[in-house]
Amino acid sequence: MIIDILTLFPESFSYLNCSILKRAQESGLIKINIIDIRPFSKDKHKKCDDYVFGGGAGMLMSVQPIYDSVMSVKKDNSKIIFPSPSGRVLTSEQAKQLSKEEHLIFICGHYEGVDQRVCEIFHPLEISIGDYVLTGGELATMVIIDCLSRFIDGVISKESLSEESFSNNSLEYPQYTRPADFMGYKVPEVLLSGNHKEIEKYREKMSKERTKKVRPDLKDD
Ligand code: 6GU
Domain boundaries, the chain: 2-156, 168-220
96 close to 151: Cβ distance less than 8 angstroms: yes
Q: For ligand 1, atom 3, which residue shows the shortest CA distance?
A: 134
Distance of CA 132 from the midpoint of ligand 1 (Å)? 7
Q: Please give the pLDDT value at position 167.
A: 78
Minimum-distance ligand 1 atom for the alpha carbon of 134 = 5
DSSP-based three-state secondary structure for 208? helix
Helical spans, DSSP H, in the chain: 19-26, 63-73, 92-98, 117-122, 138-149, 158-163, 196-214
pLDDT, mean of residues 119-125: 98
| Topology classification of domain 168-220 | Trp Operon Repressor; Chain A (1.10.1270)
210 close to 164: Cβ distance less than 8 angstroms: no
Q: Please give the pLDDT value at position 159.
A: 86
Distance of CA 184 from the midpoint of ligand 1 (Å)? 43
Distance of CA 136 from the midpoint of ligand 1 (Å)? 7
* Structure confidence at residue 106 as a pLDDT band (50, 70, 90): very high
Please choose from 91, 128, 138 the residue to mutate so as to test ligand 1's pocket, defined by most ligand atoms within 8 A of CB: 128
Q: For ligand 1, atom 11, which residue shows the shortest CA distance?
A: 133
Cα separation, 211 vs 68, whole angstroms: 46
Q: Please give the pLDDT value at position 165.
A: 78
- The architecture (CATH level 2) of 2-156 comes to 3-Layer(aba) Sandwich (3.40)
94 close to 127: Cβ distance less than 8 angstroms: yes
- Binding pocket residue ranges, ligand 1, CB within 6 Å: 83-85, 128-130, 132-134, 136-137, 140
Is pLDDT at 221 greater than 80 in this prediction? no
Minimum-distance ligand 1 atom for the alpha carbon of 89 = 9
Please choose from 108, 110, 133 the residue to mutate so as to test ligand 1's pocket, defined by most ligand atoms within 8 A of CB: 133
CA torsion sign for 145, 149, 151, 152 is positive
Q: Please give the pLDDT value at position 63.
A: 98
Q: Please give the pLDDT value at position 220.
A: 65
139 close to 38: Cβ distance less than 8 angstroms: no
